Structures are given as C-alpha cells and as structure tokens.
Structure 1
Amino acid sequence: MDKVNLVDKLSLFDDYWNPRIVGELNNSYIKLVKVKGEFVWHHHDLDDEFFLIIKGHLLIKFRERDIWLNEGEFLIIPKGVEHLPVAEEEVHMLVFEPKSVLNTGNVKCEKTVEKLQHI
C-alpha cells in the first residue's frame, strides 16, 4: 500500500491522449491522462467510463447534446453511449474503467493505446 500523489504522477509525462495506470481497484484501472484537441467519436459496448477533471475544462460531445466538465467535476458515461471528448486547452483527468477497456472503444485509429504504461 502506497499513497499516490496525482500532481507528481502527472509531471512524469507530457503527451496527450495516452492514459497511464496509477492504480488498480478490483478489476479496474485508475488512469491519469492529459488531453488537448479533439479525440475520436467512439463508444464502449460493455463498460461505463468515469472521467474526473483535475485541471482544465473538457467538452464531452454526445449526438444529442454537449456537456462541459470543469475542475473537480466528474461524469459517468454509460456503456453504449457514443461520445467525443474535446479539450481546447490542456486538460488533466483521472479515468476509472475496467481493465478490458480500450481508450478508443469500438474504433481503432492512431490514438488507440493498446498497451498501457504503469507509472
């Protein structure tokens, strides 16, 4: 058992859309990720996603509406719901999702990270 300092962990990387594992809970990963720009429209067939904004403001686009997330706010995206994360400026967030979840869900593209790094 060791405590985790999110600020320290976030200082270890600078790239975007490449989640890092900072912990494990049951059959899920706790990930940190920095994002900037537009991601890709996608959904996750079997799993919900949890996004907590640590720094910045993130827009999550859905086909029927948009939701802005600010520092200290989180959103749970239910399985099967298509979404598109967009960050006008750099955003730091904590993501909690099952170990089997691929960051791009049902889409494989240049932003897909198949092998996650532990930090």
Structure 2
Amino acid sequence: MIPINLAQKLALFDTHWDPKVIADYNDNEVMVVKFQGEFPFHMHETTDDFFLVLEGEMIMEYEGADPVTVRAGELVIVPKGQVHRPRADTEVKVLLIEPKGEPNSGDSGKTPAPKTRI
C-alpha cells in the first residue's frame, strides 16, 4: 500500500531481456524490463501479453500481421496464441504484467529469465 517509483526500480539494473518483479497484482506479477535488439518469435498459449512502454520506442512484430510501433505512454496487448516478437533499435523501458509463473520466453525454446524481485 505504498507507491513504487518505476524510475528508481529501473535504475537498479542494466541488463536486457531480464524482467524484474516489482509488485504482485492478484495472481499476476508486475515487472519492469529493459531491452534492445530483438527477442525470438514466440507465443503464450494460455495468456495475453501486456506491454506498457515507459521510455523509448519498441516494435511489436506479429506472424501474419503488420508490425506496430509502441511509444512511451502507449501500451499493446498481444492476444494469447499470437506469435510475436518485441524488438527495439535503442534501449526501451517497459512495464509488463504476466500471470505468476509464466515464462517470458513462451514457446521459443529460449531459456526463460528468472524474474527476480527488486
């Protein structure tokens, strides 16, 4: 029941594609992440993916659909079962909300990030 300062949390780490849990919301984890470059194409079979861009700009690429650019202050929700890949030419800072235990890598074969708490 206290405020969480997102900028302070983001200042605690420099790694990319390494989401950090900052709060719990019902059965979900609220996380912050930094990334640059591209993540492998993947999908989440049973859950939507929530991305809120805090700083920078990302592109969400979809299999079978046009990519979309998501800028600071905008969010995109990827429906469950949709093959997608986030990417960013320069570092982007993003807030994620995912069900507890959901691997960030989906079905990509990439080793999931551990989602440590900060």
Q: Which TM class, normalised by the smaller chain length? A: over 0.9
Report how far residue 3 of structure 1 moved: 1.2
Report how far residue 2 of structure 1 moved: 2.0
Report how far residue 80 of structure 1 moved: 0.3
Report how far residue 116 of structure 1 moved: 1.6
Report how far residue 108 of structure 1 moved: 2.5
Instruction: Calculate the TM-score normalised by the size of structure 2.
Output: 0.95
Give the % identical residues.
35
Q: Which residue of 2 aligns with 1:20?
A: 20
Q: Which residue of 2 aligns with 1:96?
A: 97
Q: Which residue of 2 aligns with 1:33?
A: 33
Q: Which residue of 2 aligns with 1:116?
A: 115
Amino acid at match of 1:68: T
Structure 1, unmatched stretches of 5+, are: none
Report how far residue 102 of structure 1 moved: 0.5
Amino acid at match of 2:98: E
Other structure's SS at 2:54 match: strand
Aligned residues: 117
CA RMSD of aligned residues (A): 0.9
Structure 2, unmatched stretches of 5+, are: none
Instruction: Calculate the TM-score normalised by the size of structure 1.
Output: 0.95
Amino acid at match of 2:9: K
How far, CA to CA, are the matches of 2:48 and 2:94 in structure 1? Answer: 16
